[in-house]
């Protein structure tokens, strides 16, 4: 298992996606912070909260909406590249179980997404501290971090079905289409009044990106992303184990 994780990590370290994702994780919160500070553009203040509270809402949008795209792309790349590069048969021919191969890919994808989310929040704190955002205290940062981390975990778990989609579609396009489809469906779920029970809409509600009045979700709603994450990992493992890979 350690060998499989090392190999998947090596693929990631030697790819361009590593530097692209690092740049995005640093640039997005920086640009949003500059807007919130009034350096560029005009900051939105719909709820009348402090600068830090408004910035947390912006970060919630970044991780709950942008994370679905960014994290989904990472899962899609780690699984879909084997088919696009025609290396899947070589990978399956190795003296290693398919379960370990898939588990290593899921582990590396999840860890990398966690690191990107942590980096984005760290950069956001640096920007907020540099411009001395109103309301930024130690307790406020800790509270914001707890909700931000929970939202990031939900989004990462909701990315596991993307790995299954990339495997079934044997490449990138089907999985990226799956990401776009879930985002569109999440928008319609709000109009239908079922957003609190639609998996890909829940992180946005929980983070406050959809408004503070929608942040209070019940236990069933909060458990759905975790259930989908486990289901996505299970069906991906089953596909690699039982499907015909010819």
135-166 pLDDT tens trace: 888 898 999 999 999 999 999 999 999 999 99
Question: For a pLDDT cut of 90, what percent of the chain falls above it?
Answer: 43
Question: For a pLDDT cut of 70, what percent of the chain falls above it?
Answer: 92
Question: Which residue, chain included where needed, has tokens 């398919």?
Answer: 98
Residue 215 confidence (pLDDT): 67
Distance of alpha carbon 125 from the chain centroid: 19
In sequence order, the 6+-apart residues with CB closer than 8 A to the CB of 52 are 128, 133, 134, 135, 136, 140, 141, 144
H/E element holding 218? Answer: none
Is the pLDDT at 48 greater than 70? The verdict is no
| Domain that residue 64 falls in | 2-242
Q: How many CB atoms lie within 10 A of CB 193?
A: 8
CA pair distance 100, 85, nearest whole angstrom: 20
Number of domains in the chain: 1
pTM over 0.75: yes
**Contact criterion met (CB below 8 Å) for 86 and 216:** no
Phi, psi at 50, each rounded to 5°: -70, 170
Is the pLDDT at 213 greater than 60? The verdict is no
Question: Which residue, chain included where needed, has tokens 């406020």?
Answer: 140
User: Residue 99: which pLDDT band, with cuts at 50, 70 and 90?
Assistant: confident
Give me the half-sphere count of Cα atoms (radius 13 Å) on the Cβ side of residue 230.
4
CA pair distance 204, 200, nearest whole angstrom: 8
Residue 210 confidence (pLDDT): 66
**Contact criterion met (CB below 8 Å) for 130 and 43:** no
CA pair distance 190, 162, nearest whole angstrom: 22
Determine whether 118 is exposed, middle or buried from the number of CB atoms within 10 Å of its CB (0-12, 13-18, 19+). Answer: middle
**Contact criterion met (CB below 8 Å) for 242 and 222:** no
């Amino acid at each position: 298992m350690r060998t499989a994780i090392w190999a998947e990590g090596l693929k990631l370290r030697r790819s361009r996606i590593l530097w692209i994702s690092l740049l995005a994780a640093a640039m997005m919160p920086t640009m949003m912070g500059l807007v919130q500070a009034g350096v560029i553009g005009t900051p939105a203040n719909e709820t009348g909260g402090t600068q830090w509270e408004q910035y947390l809402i912006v970060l919630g949008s970044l991780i709950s909406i942008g994370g679905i795209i960014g994290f989904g792309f990472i899962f899609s790349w780690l699984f879909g590249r084997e088919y696009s590069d025609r290396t899947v048969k070589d990978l399956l021919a190795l003296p290693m179980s398919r379960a370990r191969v898939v588990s290593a890919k899921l582990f590396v994808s999840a860890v990398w997404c966690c690191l990107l989310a942590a980096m984005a929040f760290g950069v956001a704190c640096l920007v907020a501290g540099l411009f001395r955002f109103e309301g930024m205290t130690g307790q406020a940062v800790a509270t914001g971090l707890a909700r931000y981390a929970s939202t990031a975990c939900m989004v990462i778990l909701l990315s596991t079905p993307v790995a299954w989609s990339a495997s079934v579609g044997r490449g990138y396009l089907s999985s990226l289409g799956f990401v776009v489809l879930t985002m569109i469906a999440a928008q319609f779920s709000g109009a239908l009044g079922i957003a609190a029970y639609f998996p890909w809409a829940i992180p946005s509600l929980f983070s406050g990106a959809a408004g503070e009045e929608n942040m209070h979700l019940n236990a069933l709603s909060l458990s759905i992303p975790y259930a989908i994450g486990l289901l996505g990992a299970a069906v991906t493992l089953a596909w690699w184990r039982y499907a015909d890979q010819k």
